[in-house]
Amino acid sequence: MLNFIENNYFMLLYAVALVLSIMRYRWYYDSVLRNLPIIIAYALLGELLGFLVSEVEGFQIVYKEGFSNYNSLVFNIFDIVFYLYFLYVFWKTFRKPIHKKFAYYGAALFILASLIDPFFHDPILYPQYFAIAVGSTALVGSALFYLGELKSEKGKIPAQRNLMFWICVGIIGFHTLYPIIMMVGLLNTELYMKLNLRYLLHIAITVMYGCFALGFLRMQGRLVNILGK
């Protein structure tokens, strides 16, 4: 048990963020973030399933000889849900039409990339690298645009009390590194192992969900008044 926690400590942040998202749900249940607890719960269950497939003999989702411990399919499906969910959130939240278009076309390009990627990388066996790069670029760009809009608004609650502020910080922290780490893993596995980039990925996950948790703790005011429905 201790070994599991030591190697998968980042999962604790999923659980903490999930508990806090439920405890604070009354503050945003009728906002565009109403489904966020479901996304966090899905992320936690996905990580647990990925761990079981990777580490437990006989627990598998791929029935090809030599690939029984491959778990990429779990995360490829989750990536689609995560990217499209948050791009939708940004699209609904943005005030400026040009930013709305960025989120909209970012989602469209991500869907296109997700349709093209399987022709180059089997989604059952491998991460969808091109889709990850496009989706992360769209998310980071959208998060930066939101922070810019937030900074320009007057008479609102402090940014640090806005849940979306912390979500943006978490997204930027994780999705700036995620595509780079995955691309290094594709192009140079030896370098990936040498630099222990999987550990860096876990730190990035911890940062993102730590920011989510902090956002739930510090949020002030019902989000429907800030984000809309």
Convert the pLDDT of each residue in 93-104 to its tens digit.
999 999 999 999
Cβ atoms of residues 72 and 126 within 8 Å:
yes
pLDDT at 76: 96
What is this structure's pTM? 0.92
pLDDT at 154: 66
pLDDT at 229: 54
Whether the predicted pLDDT of 7 surpasses 90 = no
pLDDT at 225: 47
The percentage of the chain sitting over the pLDDT mark of 90, rounded to a whole number, equals: 72
Whether the predicted pLDDT of 51 surpasses 90 = no
Average pLDDT of span 75-92: 97
Mean pLDDT across the chain: 91
Average pLDDT of span 106-133: 95
46-52 long-range contacts (CB < 8 A, ≥24 apart) are 46/74, 46/75, 46/77, 46/78, 47/8, 47/11, 47/14, 48/11, 49/74, 50/74, 50/75, 51/8
